Amino acid sequence: MPRLVSHPDEVKIVTKRFGMGAANIDKYIELGGYEAAKKCLAEGPEWIINEMKASNLRGRGGAGFPTGLKWSFVPKQSAKPKYVLVNGDESEPGTCKDHLIFLHDPHAVIEGAMIAGLAIGAKTGFIYLRGEYRYLLEIVEKAVADCYAKGILGKNIFGSDTEFQIITQSGAGAYEVGEESALMESLEGKRGVPRIKPPFPAVVGLYGGPTVINNAETIATVPHVIAMGGAAYAAVGSERNGGTRLFGLSGHVERPGVYELPMGYNLKKMIYEVGGGVRGGRALKAVVPGGSSTPVLLPEEIDIGMDFDQVGKAGSMLGSGGVVVLDDTTCIVEFALRTINFYQHESCGWCIPCREGTDWLKKSLTRFHAGFGTEKDIDNIAYLAQNMLGRTFCPLGDAAAMPTAAFVKKFRKEFEEHLNGKPCPFAKHMELAVV
Amino acid sequence: MNTETMSIFSPQLAARFDALVAKYPVKRSALVPMLLYAQDEIGYLSDAVIAEVAERIGITQLDVRNVATYYSMLRFKPAGKYNIQVCTNISCMLRGAYELFERFQEELHVGHKGVTPDGTFSLEEVECIGACCWAPAIQVNYAFHDELTPNDVPKILAEYKAKTNGSVKNA
Ligand SMILES: Cc1cc2nc3c(=O)[nH]c(=O)nc-3n(C[C@H](O)[C@H](O)[C@H](O)COP(=O)(O)O)c2cc1C
Ligand code: SF4
Ligand code: FES
């Protein structure tokens, strides 16, 4: 069972029911659950979207798109059914927050999906979990069944004439399926290859119908936004970045865990105070601030507020909120290699710059780590990464190229130490060279 | 086909599939989960599994294979009764995942994707399993074990071995 952590600086909104048995429907209701959905049913779509816009809630899946705005793009009239799709594919290395939401508060996901459905006029919501999360899928499916038994889901939710159904779905192992259009393909029983945009999912999505797709944390936040009021939720965070976020601290930190902190919380403080500092009191070498696809930050670059805009200004991204901490024993070449191995493995292979680029980057970093790199290779790695950026159908190509380019740029010296027959100075995990 | 009488799946699973194909706006949406559930019962996607799934969804076997090969959890060869999946991605690597993976290799005498001769265990190095804050983490089939050290390996193996109750050859 994943360990829950706590810190006085936390503002527990989304996590407030964690550890309280709220996966049980009666407990959830006792703790105020489904009141937000009832309120939305009474107030209607326009009111919901206005509250969502006022909340400044931005998508927790990685890109930080304003949720209220996204919902407002869905056409009011549609010949085809509209859908809500909850993205629980959670596969970006460094990210495990949705795991805790499904485990401790599955009804918040159901209630959030229902509110999204009321806002856009959808009668069906899908909750898609990565295949590895089977035990969580079972928890969610139990929660859904309990809702049907109580009339919370079905043809007449809360005794009204409004219908809302939830369909759960299991994936079967694929990072790329987390990309919104690839997820729709997967749900339609196909390979997880993304679709060309436009049209965007809000207009043509699942089964060709207008679809709102949101990350599981985004959706689980929705009932709290409604309960608090959009403006009050916005006030918790920073400018244009409403509320809190579930930050996952991992790697070489004394107290790893998922902490709910206000948007804009200082990264340095997050590592040294909330996370208890670098493990064993060692020196900090680098921080990957938002999951493996976000460019690495140096120790002198971490005195920043953790919101989408401030991390962007610092040259990286808030991404999935997974903060990976690296101490001075870490070999950056090895870390870069492990990262690119992942993207190479997960590339769906549709576009050449991504398919070939990740493969070449993997090959050259493997050679490098083994000590057979040359000076020219360092520039070649940077050149390859540069040529992948912005040249692919989906952002996975960028997700592979961006961190690699940043490792080479910020740790060039360390790459040089691996040159000309000198194997890894950290002498670590040479078996990576043959994976 | 009368799937009731001809199914290679247990009556429970066959019934579950009947419900699954009816659950979605489009039958084919059942394909990916159906393949995974079939694998859970049969052990892997055998030709017979592919044939029956194709029949149930109403698509060709080639189409089923085309989809199945995309997903990393789906396999076309049997794994061990307990498939040990060690995450070696970044958060786990930083906290000793390779040392853990090595220890599993030593104890089981198999490498990546290897199966022990008695069929009890198989071992796999996998990508992030969504347990990064509790690293290093593994999954044995679907069960998570987290915050592990190499010294935990013998205990985990013994635990699962005890569960086989001698039902597996040489166990
Ligand atoms: C390669 C790739 C993988 C992604 N994986 C996920 C994921 O696992 N979970 C998720 O919520 N979003 C993921 N996304 C982002 C989704 O495409 C989409 O933007 C998101 O689900 C929208 O929800 P939000 O607005 O609530 O953030 C991924 C994107 C890409 C390009
Ligand atoms: S960028 Fe990569 S993952 Fe995305 S569509 Fe192209 S090949 Fe597939
Ligand atoms: S990196 Fe191992 S579980 Fe995420």
Mean pLDDT of chain B: 93
Are residues B57 and B117 located together in one domain of the fold?
no
Reply yes or no on whether the pLDDT at B166 is more than 90: no
- Specify the DSSP class assigned to residue A337: H
- CA-wise closest residue to B146 among B79, B81, B106, B95: B95
Hey, is A13 helix, strand or coil?
coil
Q: Which of A133, A176, A179, A219 to mutate to test the pocket of ligand 1 (most atoms within 8 A of CB)?
A: A179
Query: Is residue B156 a part of any domain in this protein?
Result: yes
CA distance B104 to chain A (A): 15
* Tokens 């976000």, residue located: A294
Query: Is residue B59 a part of any domain in this protein?
Result: yes
Q: What are phi and psi of A34, to 5 degrees?
A: 70, 0
**The dihedral formed by the CA atoms of B129, B135, B139 and B140, expressed in degrees to the nearest 10:** 170
Contacts A432 to B, Cβ<8 Å: 98
ω before A106 within 30° of 0 (cis)? no
E-strand spans in A328-377? none
Q: Which helix (H) or strand (E) holds B107?
A: helix B97-108
Are residues B56 and B105 located together in one domain of the fold?
no
pLDDT in tens, B83-142: 999 999 999 999 999 999 999 999 999 999 999 999 999 999 999 999 999 999 999 999
Do the beta carbons of residue A129 and residue A137 sit within 8 Å? yes
- CA-wise closest residue to B124 among B156, B79, B81: B79
Are residues B9 and B53 located together in one domain of the fold?
yes
Contacts B71 to A, Cβ<8 Å: 131, 171-174, 192
Q: How far is the CA of B164 from the centre of ligand 3 (A)?
A: 28
Residue A4: how many other CB atoms lie within 10 Å: 13
Are residues B24 and B91 located together in one domain of the fold?
no
**Rounded to 5°, angle at Cα A32 from A29 and A37:** 85
Rounded Cα distance, B81 and B41, in Å:
11
CA distance A230 to chain B (A): 30
Query: Is residue B171 a part of any domain in this protein?
Result: no
* Tokens 């050859």, residue located: B169
Q: In DSSP terms, which residues pair with A66 in a beta bridge?
A: A58
ω before A8 within 30° of 0 (cis)? no
Q: In DSSP terms, which residues pair with A395 in a beta bridge?
A: none
Hey, is A65 helix, strand or coil?
coil
User: Which token pair is B71?
Assistant: 């997903």
CATH number of the domain that B42 lies in? 1.10.10
Taking CA atoms only, the protein residue closest to ligand 1 atom 30 is: A179
Query: Is residue B170 a part of any domain in this protein?
Result: no
Q: pLDDT (tens digit, 0 to 9) for every residue of chain A, 435 residues total?
A: 899 999 999 999 999 999 999 999 999 999 999 999 999 999 999 999 999 999 999 999 999 999 999 999 999 999 999 999 999 999 999 999 999 999 999 999 999 999 999 999 999 999 999 999 999 999 999 999 999 999 999 999 999 999 999 999 999 999 999 999 999 999 999 999 999 999 999 999 999 999 999 999 999 999 999 999 999 999 999 999 999 999 999 999 999 999 999 999 999 999 999 999 999 999 999 999 999 999 999 999 999 999 999 999 999 999 999 999 999 999 999 999 999 999 999 999 999 999 999 999 999 999 888 888 888 889 999 999 999 999 999 999 999 999 999 999 999 999 988 876 676 777 666 555 433
CATH number of the domain that B148 lies in? 3.40.30.10
Question: What is the phi-psi region of residue A350: left when phi exceeds 0, alpha when psi lies from -120 to 50, beta otherwise?
Answer: alpha
- CA-wise closest residue to A354 among A378, A389, A322: A389
Question: Would the CB atoms of A170 and B72 count as touching at under 8 Å?
Answer: no
Query: Is residue B150 a part of any domain in this protein?
Result: yes
The B residues from 93 to 152 touching A (CB cutoff 8 Å) are 93-95, 98, 102, 112, 125, 127-135, 139, 142-144, 146-147
Length of chain A: 435
Closest CB to A322 among B32, B127, B132 = B132
Are residues B131 and B62 located together in one domain of the fold?
no
Which residue of chain B comes nearest to A137, CA vs CA? Answer: B142
- Specify the DSSP class assigned to residue A128: E
Are residues B32 and B88 located together in one domain of the fold?
no
Q: What is the DSSP string of A151-212?
A: TSSBSSGGGSS--BEEEEEE--S-SGGGSHHHHHHHHTTS------SSSPTTTS-GGGS-EE
- Domain boundary (B23, B42, B68) is at B68
Range of the domain at B145: 82-163
State the ligand closest to the CA atom of A357: 2
Counting atoms of ligand 1 from 1, which one is nearest the CA of A87? Answer: 11
Reply yes or no on whether the pLDDT at B3 is more than 50: no
Which residue of chain A comes nearest to B25, CA vs CA? Answer: A207
CB contact set of A276 (below 8 Å; sequence gap of 6+): A253, A254, A255
Do the beta carbons of residue A274 and residue A6 sit within 8 Å? no
Query: Is residue B169 a part of any domain in this protein?
Result: no
Closest CB to B89 among A131, A256, A342 = A342
CB contact set of B99 (below 8 Å; sequence gap of 6+): B150
Are residues B86 and B149 located together in one domain of the fold?
yes
* ipTM, 2 dp: 0.96
Q: According to the 3-state scheme, what is the secondary structure of A105-121?
A: CHHHHHHHHHHHHHHHC
Q: Determine the pLDDT at residue A1.
A: 81
Are residues B95 and B155 located together in one domain of the fold?
yes
Q: Determine the pLDDT at residue A426.
A: 74
Domains and CATH numbers, chain A: 25-236 (3.40.50.11540), 244-327 (3.10.20.600), 332-434 (1.20.1440.230)
Residue A412: how many other CB atoms lie within 10 Å: 14
Stated pTM of the model:
0.96
User: Which token pair is A359?
Assistant: 């493969």
Hey, is A241 helix, strand or coil?
strand
ω before A199 within 30° of 0 (cis)? yes
Number of domains chain B is built from:
2
State the greatest distance between any 2 C-alpha atoms of chain B, in Å, as a whole number. Answer: 53
Query: Is residue B117 a part of any domain in this protein?
Result: yes
- Domain boundary (B68, B90, B120) is at B68
User: Which token pair is A208?
Assistant: 């060709």
Do the beta carbons of residue A180 and residue A88 sit within 8 Å? no
- Specify the DSSP class assigned to residue A126: E
Are residues B16 and B59 located together in one domain of the fold?
yes
Are residues B92 and B64 located together in one domain of the fold?
no
Are residues B89 and B63 located together in one domain of the fold?
no
Are residues B61 and B87 located together in one domain of the fold?
no
Query: Is residue B73 a part of any domain in this protein?
Result: no
Q: Which helix (H) or strand (E) holds A56?
A: none
Q: How far is CA A181 from CA A93, A192, A212, B27, B58, in A?
A: 20, 8, 11, 19, 24
Q: With 0-12 CB in 10 A as exposed, 13-18 as middle and 19+ as buried, what is A286?
A: buried
Q: In DSSP terms, which residues pair with A284 in a beta bridge?
A: A327
